[in-house]
Amino acid sequence: MNTSKLKKEFQEIFEIDENIHRLIRNLELLAFINPLNIAQEKKKFFKEKYKYEPQFKYRKVRFDTYKLHRLFFSQRLKDIDDELIRELYKDAIYTYSGMVHCIETISQPDNRFYFNSLRFYGTPTDKMVENAKFILHHKDDEEVDSPKYESNISTQEAISYFQDYNKIYNFDFSIKTSSAMSAAAMVSNKDRALILKKNHQFSQHQLNVLAHHEIGVHLLTTFNAVEQPLNIFSNGFPNNVETQEGLAVFAEYMSGNLTVSRLRELAYRVIATDSLIKGNDFTETFNLIHNQYGLDRDRAFNITLRVHRGGGFTKDALYLSGLQKIYNRHKSGLSMESLLMGKCTLEYEPTMDRLKKVGLVTPLAFKCKSFDVNLNQDKRVEWILQNLK
């Protein structure tokens, strides 16, 4: 069925979908949550022997958040006859409104952002924390001598690498740099761009990981979503972070780039998030993972920053649980195709099936090359993934 016929048959769905898209399309939480003065505060923190509580600065919010909330909840959802699809859009509105709540309360007093983050991303469960501790019992001694782990590749050289890598997909994405980032790289969905940390020194292994993670999944789902009739595939299904990050780390595994060290990094993020939940401040979380768990100070600072930015950001706990869910799905022999249509969520697969049945989903435009063949040869990684609870 062509688009015009679809829009006529499902007029109410398309109208609501387009209304919500106009409200949400230029908003990305990560664009607001990354501090603007990371380098300066990191320098102060180390100079004060880890006893200084960093004072991060953030982008100002220059839109009317109250008006946005009001417009979200003025959508005539009752006009959508299909119950599953109606529930999808209702849940999406709550999710997008939650994101706006997060953006408008970044670094505000009384832990406002933190409590909004809890509603948006949840907290690590006891099982997640147990899995993290289980992983941290395994030492990451596999990276000591290999040249591919040496951090000697400039940001400019990394740009050339990603431009070459993209020839296997041929997406029309841009590459930008930014100093206001806690990660080495990230994807901007709205700009269809890969953003690299300015003046960062990459290793060849890190470039391999980022290629499969950021381009092979995050940008792939961005461009697959563009081909779908409905904008919700681009704007994101409710609570899609766990599924999308799980797919991205799973791509590292399938391409043979997932290491015990990387699993330990994801475990540290869960431990740091759990520390935040227990009421610890930046210095206490840093000291926990640097002194008690023995992580080097630069990586410990980065992980602590990721979790404490904005006033308390619990998203990072979802990478490990997402990987576990996607890995278990893979072992069950289930396809990942429906999850790669856009920013989709495992829990909404029945709704995806319904959208397919009524013709509101088009075939996958780009397939994830990382998933073609399992290239993992690390038996320790395999054993760990098999034994997560």
- Token code pair at residue 194: 């890969």
Cα 372 to Cα 216, 297, 343, 375, distances in angstroms? 12, 37, 20, 9
- 176-233 tens-digit pLDDT: 998 877 788 989 888 899 999 988 999 999 999 999 999 999 999 999 999 999 999 9
Q: What are phi and psi of 175, to 5 degrees?
A: -120, 125
- Token code pair at residue 262: 């990387």
Collapse the DSSP code of 293 into the 3-class scheme (helix H, G, I; strand E, B; otherwise coil) and give the result. Answer: coil
pLDDT at residue 6 in the model? 84
- How many folded domains does the chain comprise? 1
* Cα distance between residue 65 and residue 82, in whole Å: 30
Q: What is the DSSP letter of 131?
A: H
Over range 173-177, report the average pLDDT: 91
* Cα distance between residue 125 and residue 157, in whole Å: 40
Asked whether the beta carbons of 365 and 227 are under 8 A apart, the reply is yes
Cα 237 to Cα 10, 39, 271, distances in angstroms? 19, 34, 27
| DSSP β-bridge partners for residue 186 | 195
pLDDT at residue 143 in the model? 54
pLDDT grade for 145, boundaries at 50, 70 and 90? low
Residue whose entry in the numeric block shows the structure tokens 């649980």: 321
CA 97-190-361 angle, 5° bins: 80
Range list of β-strands (E), 315-382: none
- 330-385 tens-digit pLDDT: 999 999 999 999 999 999 999 999 999 999 999 999 999 999 999 999 999 999 99
Neighbours of 355 (CB within 10 A): 25
* Cα distance between residue 368 and residue 221, in whole Å: 9
Around 142, how many Cα atoms within 13 Å sit in the side-chain half-sphere?
Answer: 16
- 270-323 tens-digit pLDDT: 999 999 999 999 999 999 999 999 999 999 999 999 999 999 999 999 999 999
- Token code pair at residue 293: 């768990």
Whole-prediction pTM: 0.92
| DSSP β-bridge partners for residue 197 | 178
% pLDDT > 90, the chain = 77
Decide which of 315 and 4 is more confident.
315
Whether 160 shows a pLDDT value over 80: the answer reads yes
Rg (CA), the chain: 21
Mean predicted lDDT score pLDDT of the chain: 92
| DSSP β-bridge partners for residue 175 | 194
pLDDT at residue 107 in the model? 85
pLDDT at residue 142 in the model? 58
Q: What is the residue range of 285's domain? A: 3-386
- 15-62 tens-digit pLDDT: 999 999 999 987 888 888 989 999 999 999 999 999 999 999 999 888
Q: What is the DSSP letter of 61?
A: P
Residue whose entry in the numeric block shows the structure tokens 């841009």: 174
Looking at the chain, how many residues does it have?
389
| DSSP β-bridge partners for residue 188 | 193
- Token code pair at residue 170: 């041929």
